[in-house]
Amino acid sequence: MKNIFLYLIVTVFVLFSFQYNVFAEEARQLDLKSEGAVLLDSETNAILYAKNADEKMYPASLTKIATAIYAIEKGNLDSIVTVSANAVRQDGTRVYLNEGEQVPLKKLIQGMLINSGNDAAVAIAEYLDGDVKTFAESLNSYLKNKIGVTNTHFTNPNGLHDENHYTTAMDLALITNYALKNPTFAEIFGTKVLDWQGQSWSTRILTHHRMLKGELPYPGISGGKTGYTTEAKQTLATTAGNGNLKLTAVVLKSDLKNDKYKDTAVLFDYGFKGYQHETINQGVIFKSGNKEFYPESDIVITEDVSGNIKTVNDEGLLSIENNNGQVLQKVQLKYKDPPKSKSAEIKSKKANKKESPLILLNTLIGLLLITGAGTLIQRQRRRKVSRYY
């Protein structure tokens, strides 16, 4: 009877928890047209909003964010790249490179990110790894092992459609946040206009991102990249800051071009209004049962302005949740070794006291044995001398 009663209690608790989480999920829905969307804190990677965040989708030219940071970290920005015929033949948006043209690597990255040059992307890939196929293999390994994304597979450097070329909104946001830590990437990602001198044309290339360009004004926009193919539809990655928070928004698969910008503005409004930073000071103790954990240094976390709950598990993983049960961030803490109990200290002292007389006794016995041995040796020597005489 007790077991049946316990089972009923557990069942009710599970059902209640499920209903609560569903309610929390529904309460947090924003009116977004894009099929996939993620809003992250650019500095802490806290997840502030997610819609179909882990669903595999086509990124189109947002691929170039990954290509850019890979090229910046692997290549020499001042090295000269010779453009191939294959690069020149690329479809879609280009910076109109000529076959045999020699261009610094950094300039190619600028042309790829700012003006979305598909030809520049292939020139970069061939310079770094010899050919596009080898580049894609190296890029996928880099994204998995260096950045830690697991739902991304790229077959080319520019995002032209391929059924096996996919990622997720979450992975793209994490890739963007990783890239933003590099000053060269951040500079190019935020560039609106660049004078371009090439063999085939001299012009001023402009970012395609309408919020970054100022056509659709939003305060604090700091960088962005657009994307579009027929299969991927409209895609957009954007960063912004308000002096307190820096946010990264990624939206995928919008039907209309303006929808991706409206969705991005909705995400930023939501993030800047509802979240803030807090610092957990070094050495603050968090308990899980009898275990204690602490941060080794000051940690900046992202919190919901309406309230938060901090919990730590037996492995020392600290979870920051808002009042709706949404996990915003997880931080690994360090285990604190428990102090010795008084009884253990007393036993240790007693053991030391017991050992001290024994050590003294053994020392005395050793000295007596050495003295006795010395005396015997002296007597034997005297006997030998007396016999000789």
| Strand 308-312 relative to strand 246-254, pairing | unpaired
Q: Where in the chain is the domain with CATH 3.40.710.10?
A: 30-274
Residue 243 burial (10 A CB sphere; 0-12, 13-18, 19+): exposed
Report d(CA 356, CA 349) in Å as an integer: 11
Q: What is the pLDDT of residues 300-338, one digit of tens each?
A: 999 999 999 999 999 999 999 998 889 999 999 998 887
Total residue length of the chain:
389
Most confidently modeled of 259-268, 290-299, 303-312? 259-268
Residue 361: is its pLDDT beyond 70?
A: no
Mean pLDDT, rounded, for 209-222: 97
Q: Catalytic site residue 64?
A: yes
Residue 142: is its pLDDT beyond 50?
A: yes
| Strand 193-197 relative to strand 202-206, pairing | antiparallel
Look up residue 291 and give its amino acid: K
Instruction: Please tell me whether residue 127 adopts helix, strand or coil conformation.
Output: helix
Are the beta carbons of 286 and 267 closer than 8 angstroms? no
The pairs formed by 220-225 with CB atoms below 8 angstroms and a separation of 24 or more are: 222/186, 222/190, 222/246, 223/180, 223/186, 223/189, 223/190, 224/189, 225/61, 225/62, 225/64, 225/65, 225/113, 225/116, 225/189
Q: Say which range, 65-69, 260-264, 348-352, 381-385, has the weakest mean pLDDT.
A: 381-385
Are the beta carbons of 272 and 242 closer than 8 angstroms? yes
Name which residue leads in pLDDT, 165 or 324: 165
Q: What is the pLDDT of residue 337?
A: 80
Spot the catalytic one: 64, 225, 233, 253: 64
Q: What is the pLDDT of residue 365?
A: 65
317 beta partners = 332
Q: What is the pLDDT of residue 19?
A: 30
Q: Catalytic site residue 288?
A: no
Q: What is the pLDDT of residue 338?
A: 75
Confidence of residue 29 (pLDDT cuts 50, 70, 90): confident
How far is it between the farthest Cα atoms of the chain? 125
Percent of the chain with pLDDT over 90: 75
Does the pTM surpass 0.75? The reply is yes
Are the beta carbons of 112 and 124 closer than 8 angstroms? yes
Q: What is the pLDDT of residue 336?
A: 82
Q: What is the pLDDT of residue 2?
A: 43
The angle at the Cα of 344, spanning 340 to 346, to the nearest 5 degrees, equals 120
Q: What is the pLDDT of residue 8?
A: 37
Report d(CA 159, CA 237) in Å as an integer: 14
Look up residue 297 and give its amino acid: S
Distances (CA, A) of 302 to 145, 247, 331, 384: 26, 11, 11, 93
Q: Catalytic site residue 343?
A: no
Mean pLDDT, rounded, for 33-47: 98
Q: What is the pLDDT of residues 119-132, one digit of tens each?
A: 999 999 999 999 99
Q: Say which range, 94-98, 226-230, 290-294, has the weakest mean pLDDT.
A: 290-294
Residue 145: is its pLDDT beyond 80?
A: yes
Report d(CA 153, CA 165) in Å as an integer: 6
Mean pLDDT, rounded, for 28-42: 95
Are the beta carbons of 112 and 159 closer than 8 angstroms? no
Q: Which fold has domain 30-274?
A: Beta-lactamase (3.40.710)
104 beta partners = 80
Treating both helix axes as pointing N-terminal to C-terminal, what angle do 132-142 and 118-129 enclose, rounded to 10 degrees?
80
Place of tokens 């020139």: 123
Q: What is the pLDDT of residue 133?
A: 98
Residue 364: is its pLDDT beyond 70?
A: no
Mean pLDDT, rounded, for 260-286: 96
Mean pLDDT, rounded, for 181-201: 96
Place of tokens 């529904």: 26
Spot the catalytic one: 34, 61, 84, 254: 61
Are the beta carbons of 64 and 176 closer than 8 angstroms? no
Mean pLDDT, rounded, for 130-135: 98
Name which residue leads in pLDDT, 384 or 171: 171
Give the phi and the psi of residue 295 in degrees, each rounded to 5.
-80, 140
Contacts for 219 with CB less than 8 Å, ≥ 6 apart: 240, 242
Mean pLDDT, rounded, for 246-264: 98
Q: Say which range, 56-65, 103-112, 184-193, 303-312, has the weakest mean pLDDT.
A: 303-312
Given its phi and psi angles, is residue 267 left (phi above 0), alpha (psi -120 to 50 degrees) or beta?
Answer: alpha
Report d(CA 219, CA 272) in Å as an integer: 11
Instruction: Please tell me whether residue 252 adopts helix, strand or coil conformation.
Output: strand
Q: What is the pLDDT of residue 190?
A: 98
Residue 4: is its pLDDT beyond 90?
A: no
